[in-house]
Structures are given as C-alpha cells and as structure tokens.
Structure 1
Amino acid sequence: PELEQSANPFATVIMAHLKAVDTRSDGQQRKIWKMALTRRLYQQGYQRQDILNLYHFIDWVMHLPSALEQAFSEELNHYEQELNMKYVTSIERLGIKQGRQEGILEGRQEGRQEEAERLLLRLLNRRFGELSPEIQARVKGLSVEKLEQLMDVAIDVESVEQLVDHLPAPEAAN
C-alpha cells in the first residue's frame, strides 16, 4: 500500500519488479498488473518522456507472451484514446471534423487540377508531338479553369506556337 500511495517514480519501478516476480507463472495476472502500472504512469501526471522511460522498464521486466502482449497493446491503445478524448472539447471535435472535410475538398480539387493538367498535356502531345520542357512547365500548376480554357484552345489552334500565345508568361504561370 505504501508503494501504491507514493508519487515517486521509483515506487512504480519497484512495484513493477515485485509484480514481475509475483506473476512469473501467471501471464493473465501479469497483463493485468502491467496495465495497472502503465495506467499509474498516466495518472501520476508524469511528463511524456518520463512515462516512456518508465514504461520501457515495465515492458522489459513484465514481458508477456505474444497473445497477451497483443491484448495488452489493444487495451493500452483504447486507454490512451480515452485519455486524449477527455482533453478534446466538443468545439475542438467540431474543428477536427471541419478540418477533415476541408482536407477532403482540397484533395478533390487537387485531384481535378492534376487530372486536367494530365489531359491537356496528353491532348497537346497527341496533336503536336513531344512538348518542350518549357511548355510543360508553363502548363503545370495552372488552375482547373485555365486548363479547361487551354483544352478548348488546343482543339482550335493549328500549331504549338499558336497555343503558346495563350499560355501565361513563365513567371505568371501560377
């Protein structure tokens, strides 16, 4: 009981060693104690690096068979997720959700831009043969709207030179 009441990190180290000895022939009990000692690290309010250092010791002295280690890892992950969620307010959760949605929209827009760029370059290569790296560079990074305009132009022009007149200047390509 005295060790369990102590806030001293070495109390956890001693408890880990004692419980490792006590549970050497009972893997299930060892898993339970390993989880209890690991939870204790979080509950004591130690800094992240201290938790990691102490956990490495606990993990070393309280080795578990692979099946129990997997169950322990799942339980620990669940516990850590619960801890993290306690610190996330509903406003933060809303912000996280909104950020995900914005990321999805941005990804879709980027995908549209890349596809329009790929299609324009393919169209130009089919119509006029291999394009110079300069022309390819001037096409890259243009907005979807500009790329769509250039596709219409590419269908109507007779030569690459005529198309180049419709491309933004190299420094204004973005």
Structure 2
Amino acid sequence: MFKYFYRIYDKFDRKVFAIALLTDANKSFRPNVYEYSYFGTKLIYEYNMYKLADQNEVELEQSKNPFSKAVLAGIYMNRTKNDDKRRALFKMKLMREVIKGNGYSRASVSALFYFIDYLLQLPKDLEKELNHTMVPLIQEEASHMIHHNLEDQSPTLAEVLAVVRSEGEKEGKEEGKKEGKREGEKEGGIIKALSIAANLLALGMEPDIVAKVTQLPEEKVRELQNNSKE
C-alpha cells in the first residue's frame, strides 16, 4: 500500500486517501500502519482500515450504496468457504441486486462484478449454471449493458453478455431477412429496412452483416451507425 501511495503521489501530485479493506474473518487482525527504519531513517505510514467482520449485514443489504455489495461479497466469501452451492446462491443474489441497482453507473457495475467474481469463485459447473441463469435477467433488467466493451468486463459479465449478444444477433438476422425481403417489395419498405438496421446495429452487429441482412447499401448502414453515435 505504501508503494502504491508514493507512486500515485509522485506521478499525479495529488493528496491520497488510503484505506485497507480487510476481508478475513479474524476480528483481532487489524493492521493499520507500515513502519520502515534503516540507519536512522524512519518512516511511519498509517492508513484507514475497514474490517468486513465489523459490519452489520442487515444494514448492508438495505443500503443503496454500491460499496455495500462489495462488502457483502467479502462476508459471503467467509461464510461459504466449504459450501459452493450456497456461495452460488449468494453470488446470484448480489449480481441480481447490482444489475437492478438504481442509478449505478456502468463503471460501478463492472467494478462490482469484478470484485464479486474474484471473491466468490465457483467450480466450473456451478459457474456455467449461474451464467445460464443470468442471461434472462440481463436481458430484462440491463439490456443497455450489451454495449459494454468486453475487455472491461468481469468473467461472469463477459460470458453472459456474449450469450445475450449471440442470441440477439441470431434473432435479428432471422427477423431482418424476413422483414427486409417482405418490406423491400412494398412502397416505403426502405424505412422499415432502416429501422431494422438500426436495431441490429444497437445489438452490436457489424455494418457489413447488417447490410447483407437488410439488403441496404453498406455505405447507408455505416452512415446510420455514425448518426446513432452523435
């Protein structure tokens, strides 16, 4: 922590607030200082300490603060060390609450999923089952998350959104082929094709594929994509 402190302080020349988040269950383990001494040179680095074992679980569950979910993840980790199935239930509960959290930013959601994934690790079979259960939840509660950069997502979130994307693209292609062909033969069909193209682009489909599905010029599809970003 001291190394992080002086590197941040030196690089950005900003005041640094440090806090150690202790996830262990040992209430007597409460380090809050680092000391260095060498041939008359002495350094004492004190920092804030936040112990998960000290926290009130009921208050955390009722809190709207996203940090409360991170604290609960640590509490659940200690409680389920020898019970993977119970841990999976706790993990699902937390992730569901994070997705449904009112006002949580995308950055907060991604950070919380990373933390929950790290602390509440599961065997592959239970992780796969959890991911499968998460798919409809994300589709219903947080479809906007599909547009996240996969590189910024936790393992669980990336896996679930990949499935959502795949299913959405498959449905979009079938719908696009049917609607595009039918509406293309009618007056005003171009408007419907553009609408379909916009929906497919929103799902993350590449412009060249959208052009083939809707039978629109690729230049027109790319123009539609650029306009949607403005």
TM-score by structure 2 length?
Answer: 0.39
Q: Distance in 2 between matches of 1:29 and 1:109?
A: 47
Amino acid in structure 2 at the alignment position of 1:4: E
Whose helix fraction is larger, Structure 1's or Structure 2's? Answer: 1
Which residue matches 1:101?
178
Match of 1:11 among 60, 63, 68: 68
Deviation at 1:102, TM superposition (A): 4.0
Q: Does 1:82 align with 2:140?
A: yes
Unpaired segments ≥5 residues, structure 1:
86-95, 111-174
Deviation at 1:2, TM superposition (A): 0.6
Amino acid in structure 1 at the alignment position of 2:100: Q
Per the alignment, in what secondary structure is the counterpart of residue 64 of structure 1? Answer: coil
Q: Say what the alpha-carbon RMSD is for the aligned residues.
A: 2.7
Q: Does 1:67 align with 2:125?
A: yes
Q: Does 1:56 align with 2:114?
A: yes
Deviation at 1:84, TM superposition (A): 5.1
Amino acid in structure 2 at the alignment position of 1:72: L
Per the alignment, in what secondary structure is the counterpart of residue 28 of structure 1? Answer: helix
Deviates more, 1:42-51 or 1:24-33: 42-51
Q: Distance in 1 between matches of 2:101 and 2:175?
A: 34
Amino acid in structure 1 at the alignment position of 2:95: T
Q: Distance in 2 between matches of 1:109 and 1:58?
A: 41
Per the alignment, in what secondary structure is the counterpart of residue 122 of structure 2? Answer: coil
Deviation at 1:98, TM superposition (A): 6.4
Count of aligned pairs? 100
TM-score by structure 1 length?
Answer: 0.50
Rg: which structure is higher?
A: 1
Per the alignment, in what secondary structure is the counterpart of residue 121 of structure 2? Answer: coil
1:102 and 1:3, CA in 2 relative to 1: closer, same or farther beyond 3 A?
same
